Structure 1
Amino acid sequence: MTYDASEFPPFAVTVDLAVLTLREGKLCALVITRGEDPFRGKPALPGGFVHISESTDAAAVRELAEETGVRTFPGHVEQLATYSTPDRDPRMRVVSVAYVAFAPDMPEPVAGTDAADATWLALGDLPDDLAFDHRTILDDAIERVRSKLEYTTLATQFVGATFTLRELQTVYETVWDVTWDRANFRRKVLGTPDFVRPVDGETVATGTRGRHAQLYRAGEATTLHPPILRW
């Protein structure tokens, strides 16, 4: 059978990035204001077209650096899903490969080449009318992160190299929008093999009656047995 390229019209591939971090006790997403048509002036997720000579993974890394101002992203990045509804982009047929990324203490963002502005927005402040199908992508990304905290150790990506159990608990409470009993959370974390490891002799003042809290670092485990489930 002879291959006829004209039977398969070309289409573009983009990457869209749902970048999450914790800021001032809130789960926040990186949102840009589009500087070009379509949807000029509308809020959107950062992203861009995949160059002909690069993979989608390479494009995601490039866009992350352009939109966050950080050359080497300090957190976790993974492919989320592919979005291919035929009319999702008014310009032409565009298929998007979306990624979710999260890291602690992210700096103020730097607007990329096609963005008029870039900012961190708390989930409660996010508009519903994001450009394209970006609200669906962002909602899927948030659920991905929430579910992965149940059965993986990725919560440690939201804190520094060393952290207290209270700081780790704050990650779960903020991402899941729940409140945990401190003793119960401590028991769950320390009862999970190699989730965290104490840093010998390292404590930090808590500001409460001169008390100090033990510092921990991430263990070698990548999955949680048993999982820490949402209520």
Structure 2
Amino acid sequence: MQIDILTLFPEMFSGVLGHSMLQKAVEKSAVTYNVVNFRKYADNKHSQVDDYPYGGGAGMVLMPQPIFAAVADLKEKAACKKPRVILLCPQGTRYDQKKAEELAKEEHLIFICGHYEGYDERIRKHIVTDEISIGDYVLTGGELAAMVVVDSVVRLLPEVLGNAESHIKDSFSTGLLEHPHYTRPADFHGMKVPDVLLSGNHKLIEEWRNKEALRRTLERRPDLLEKIELTPQQKKWLQEVEKEVN
């Protein structure tokens, strides 16, 4: 996958992209990052990328010319001529795991990180394929949001995680929150690991994990249960959990 990031602050990405799973993905040739300061594409004397909004109002608005020029250049240089061009914006669609899985199937992603009051509307209408919001709040710029999306997508690429199945049962990947985890010691200051996890009975362990995932989702995010179709077995487990909770 090729990931291009258009930003006015490229130095913000050096630490994030150069460590942990995002760096390992590069080492495994799963992804290539290209962080670009789109100011260099401005065609005016002072490399200005923003201006006052027509009609008046507070703040500055990103001009279309630098963004149009930058995206056109990246497309021309890329092997994939139809990249997904993603605008990080509070007005965008709420980001979730399903969207991450969708983007992970692409060959080329271009992220546009804005600053100031907003974007010239022509950027949205004529360049962008996706507008994404990571939550109902406003950030200073799109850089942090881009980092979140990039991290969630890259970890899904083949061979990036040490265990190819690690992400399959992550929270939200199944539509449910993930079950609790335990490791050694089995008894820590009187706080014990559930006996079933020490039993060696894989069938019972899997059943416990499924029920606990349902329990955690019911307790913390019951809204998620309304969005997925449970199997007959999951419905049975959920009924058992509801009785225990009540």
TM-score, length-scaled by structure 1 = 0.26
Structure showing greater radius of gyration is 2
Question: Between Structure 1 and Structure 2, which shows a larger proportion of helix residues?
Answer: 2
TM-score w.r.t. the length of structure 2 is: 0.25
- Structure having the higher strand fraction is 1
